[in-house]
Amino acid sequence: MDPIYVSIQQEQTGNRIKELISNEGYSVRDIQEFMGFDNPQAVYKWLKGKSMPSIDNLLILSKVLHTSIDELIVYTGDDKLGANTKRPSR
């Protein structure tokens, strides 16, 4: 089986998170509070594509924004990804 290559697009992911936050009617401060952060800097870094949320924070965002982690992340890569991707035989 050939390897699968993907690349997370941080800036586009930040734009997607920003859009979903807006669609839900939340502010950056609201997200900061949901995350339990002392200040909003981490959230602003996500929205600008300067950093990515940890997997734990992606899970929280997905719950708060009523979506899946997969819908939060914008990535490019191999067309083999999707519903038809099978596990390698062992």
What CATH number did the domain enclosing 60 receive? 1.10.260.40
CA–CA separation, 82 vs 21, rounded Å?
26
The DSSP line for the chain is -----EEE-HHHHHHHHHHHHHHTT--HHHHHHHHT-SSSHHHHHHHTTSS---HHHHHHHHHHTTS-HHHH--EEE-TT-STT--PPP-
Give the pLDDT band (50/70/90) at residue 78. Answer: low
Please report, as a single letter, which amino acid is at residue 41: Q
Domain that holds residue 24: 6-77
Residue 89 lies in a domain: no
Question: Residues 11-56: pLDDT tens digits?
Answer: 999 999 999 999 999 999 999 999 999 999 999 999 999 999 999 9
Q: Does residue 80 carry a pLDDT above 80? A: no
What pLDDT does residue 3 have?
84
Residue 67 lies in a domain: yes
